[in-house]
Amino acid sequence: MRLFAIGFTLRLIIATVISMAVWRLFITPFDRLPLPRSAVIIIGRVLDFPVALAGELLPIRGMELVFEDHATWCDFCQPGEMFRLQMRIAIPTYILVLYLPNLLRWAARRNARLFKRAVIGLLFYAVFTIAFILVTGSSDRRQDLRTAAVWLLILSAAAAVAWSKIEQRWKFAAVVAVLLAGAWTSPFMMMIFIAPKEDQVRTYFVSDLVLLIFGVGGTLSLTWAVENGIERWRRRRVGE
């Protein structure tokens, strides 16, 4: 518990320092900074990218977004209010980013096989999602990003159930429940700022459900096939 408290405190301090530094870079005129303008812009965009990405996926946002919509962010806000809104999303985002390496190491040590399975599944998800968006996606990249995030959430929930140690019948029922809930709630999750009408949700429910069945089922099946293929290849190699 003591180590956790120390680690969290250090990450909180680092996240606060990074957030303050990014804020300083954005509000300070270029002629008052020791770095060239191009370097300041690059450093600021790179450091603020996790916060901008979080702003795309959450109902709150900071100074920047990944896909800028040129809309007003904080009308008639005082500098103090803008600072508070930026810190509200920036500090938790950086804390999460700083915890990611530890979470990945913990997952790999706790169950190496499950970790490899998750990596394979994520690779298939990335390939399928990118291909689907390139073929059928619209010019609204923000909506495509939210769609990909919602699919990842549904796939993660289905995979967590499918790879659990519960009984087979309960596992099947739970996966079906995840797909049904995902097909019904995905329009609400993708349209964070504008709630869709219930008639629109009903219209796309069947098509979303079919898409999730093929997408989630195909990803989990291919992950299982690749994992078992790798295991068989290793056994043959050891046998030789």
pLDDT tens figures, 161-191: 888 888 888 888 888 898 888 887 776 555 5
* Predicted pLDDT at 240: 59
Whether this prediction's pTM lies above 0.75 is answered by no
**Same-domain check for residues 115 and 223:** yes
Q: 37-57 and 141-162 are packed helices; what angle lies between their axes, rounded to 10 degrees? A: 50
pLDDT of 92 reads 93
Q: Identify whether 232 is part of a domain.
A: yes
Domain boundary among 69, 98, 127: 98
* C-alpha span between 147 and 80 (Å, rounded): 34
Asked if residue 174 and residue 91 are part of one domain, the reply reads no
Residue owning tokens 């804020």:
23
Contact call for residues 95 and 12 (beta carbons, < 8 A): yes
Domain boundaries, position 39:
2-98
Contacts 24+ apart (CB under 8 A), 118-125: 118/159, 120/223, 120/226, 120/227, 121/155, 121/159, 121/219, 121/220, 121/223, 124/219, 124/222, 124/223, 125/151, 125/152, 125/155, 125/219
Task: Tell me, yes or no, whether 165 lies in a domain.
Answer: yes
Residue 104 domain-assigned (yes or no) = no
> Same domain, yes or no, for 46 and 159?
no
Q: Is the domain of 87 the same as that of 176?
A: no
- What is the rounded average pLDDT for all residues in the chain? 82
Q: State how many domains the chain has.
A: 2
Claim to verify: residue 29 and residue 89 sit in the same structural domain: yes
Per cent of the chain over pLDDT 90 is: 10
Q: What is the pLDDT of residues 55-105, one digit of tens each?
A: 887 878 888 777 766 556 677 778 788 888 889 999 999 999 999 988 888
